[in-house]
């Protein structure tokens, strides 16, 4: 079996190669798609917004057309890219989102798509709570004032700077990250309202956490933290109407996807002090343009899409991916296959019979 590792500036090909050795003695070819950090950030955002077909087929696909599987992170896996290979059987991406993979095309071609859930869940949940504190307690603004030779004590929210104790936190999306946020916030003695149409009340097993409807969450929350995946159905999940329902002392935190929030509506709400502030790690265009109206506001904390980027999260990801692939090759059931229906494909059945028999 031939394995192509397909790294980038965030996780390079050599890291994937080391993890791929867990799969046995196979031929492994190490490559990198985009090794420039700045270019990677812009290219990955375009792919997430427009799909993998927006990119040309990577030359390393054509140079390794006999590969049986490709393991990577952000690189594009379009239908055209898949057709470059003679008989590709598995695509593995060391991330939860699969926006860079045409999953439908993979399924049609009998290609298994494996991803990694929760690889940066600890990192993102930590960061989300950090943004709550930074924005509401003016941590970044106070730091900037000192750096600028000032000693600032008065801020946009000086009349109602909050403590977390006793506040209501609204969490949108109660998957692994949302649950971690709730768990970590429990020590602050807060009430937590959750909105997630895919979660049933009986699955909520945490004290001080309750499932509510969307209107209740927006009306009652002192902080709203977003942890939902972006879909066609929830694009601009938060716009003028939702922001109008929030308390004027409430804060919005987004470490998920920028498309969940109508940025124009948020800028208006912040400018007119309809809400107290926002903490944002994701943007419609990255890097954020220098003339963007968010940069003129004094009640928003902005970070450079780094919520999920920790050394622990990055170094563990290729190994988590390899562990999932190994389960499949050993005849077991992987937890994180994006297209489980593909196991009914005749090509997949034949490959797995041969793969399991050889291990």
Determine contact, residues 4/29, Cβ cutoff 8 Å.
yes
Over residues 231-276, the pLDDT tens digits come to 889 999 999 999 999 999 999 999 999 999 999 999 999 999 999 9
| Residues labelled catalytic | 257, 286, 305
Q: What is the pLDDT of residues 15-28, one digit of tens each?
A: 999 999 999 999 99
Calculate ∠ Cα 183-186-188, nearest 5°: 140
Paired with 300 in beta bridges are 278
The pLDDT score that the predictor gives to residue 99 is 93
pLDDT level of residue 358 (50, 70, 90 thresholds): low
Most distant CA atoms of the chain, gap in Å: 70
Asked whether the predicted pLDDT for residue 359 surpasses 70, the reply is: no
Sheet with 277-280, strands from edge to edge, namely 209-211, 191-195, 168-172, 223-226, 251-254, 277-280, 300-302
The overall average pLDDT reported for the chain is 95
**Residue range 35-63, pLDDT digits in tens:** 999 899 899 989 988 999 999 999 999 99
SS3 133: helix
Distance (Å, whole) CA 53 – CA 83? 12
Rounded distance between C-alpha atoms, residue 14 and residue 218, angstroms: 46
To the nearest 5 percent, what fractions of the chain are helix, strand and coil?
A: 45, 15, 40
- Domains, the chain, ranges and CATH? 2-119+311-358 (3.40.50.720), 121-302 (3.40.50.720)
Check whether 300 has a pLDDT greater than 80.
Answer: yes
pLDDT digits (tens, 9 = 90+) for 142-174: 999 999 999 999 999 999 999 999 999 999 999
Find the mean pLDDT for residues 304-309.
92
Q: Which whole number is the average pLDDT over 102-128? A: 94
Strand partners, 90: 69, 112
Cα–Cα distance between 111 and 104 in angstroms, integer? Answer: 10
Q: What is the pLDDT of residue 357?
A: 56
pLDDT at 186 over 90: yes
Q: Are 16 and 6 in contact (CB under 8 A)?
A: yes
């Amino acid at each position: 079996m031939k394995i192509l590792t397909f790294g980038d500036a965030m996780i390079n090909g050599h890291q994937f190669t080391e993890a791929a050795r867990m799969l046995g003695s196979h031929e492994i070819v190490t490559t990198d798609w985009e090794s420039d950090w700045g270019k990677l950030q812009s290219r990955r955002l375009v792919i997430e917004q427009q799909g993998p077909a927006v990119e040309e087929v990577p030359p390393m696909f054509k140079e390794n057309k006999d590969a049986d599987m490709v393991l990577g992170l952000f690189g594009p896996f379009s239908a055209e890219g898949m057709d470059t290979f003679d008989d590709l059987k598995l695509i593995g991406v060391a991330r939860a989102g699969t926006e860079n993979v045409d999953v439908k095309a993979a399924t049609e071609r009998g290609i298994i798509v494996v991803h990694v859930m929760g690889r940066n869940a600890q990192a993102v949940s930590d960061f989300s709570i950090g943004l709550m504190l930074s924005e509401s307690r003016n941590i970044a603004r106070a730091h900037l004032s000192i750096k600028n030779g000032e000693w600032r004590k008065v801020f946009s929210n000086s009349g109602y700077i909050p403590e977390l104790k006793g506040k209501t936190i609204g969490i949108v999306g109660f998957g692994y990250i949302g649950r971690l946020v709730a768990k970590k916030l429990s020590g602050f003695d807060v009430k937590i309202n959750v909105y997630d149409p895919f979660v049933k009340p009986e699955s909520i097993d945490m004290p001080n956490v309750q499932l509510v409807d969307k209107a209740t969450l927006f009306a009652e929350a002192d902080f709203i933290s977003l942890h939902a995946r972006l879909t066609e159905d929830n694009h601009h999940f938060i716009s003028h109407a939702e922001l109008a329902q929030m308390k004027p002392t409430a804060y919005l935190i987004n470490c998920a996807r920028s498309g969940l929030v109508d940025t124009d509506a948020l800028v208006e709400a912040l400018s007119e002090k309809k809400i107290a502030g926002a903490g944002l790690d994701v943007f419609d265009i990255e890097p954020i343009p220098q003339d963007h109206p968010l940069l003129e506001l004094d009640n928003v904390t902005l970070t450079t899409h780094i919520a999920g980027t920790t050394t622990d999260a990055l170094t563990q990801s290729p190994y988590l991916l390899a562990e999932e692939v190994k389960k499949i090759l050993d005849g077991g059931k992987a937890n994180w296959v994006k297209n489980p229906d593909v196991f009914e494909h005749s090509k997949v059945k034949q490959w797995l019979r041969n793969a399991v028999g050889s291990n």
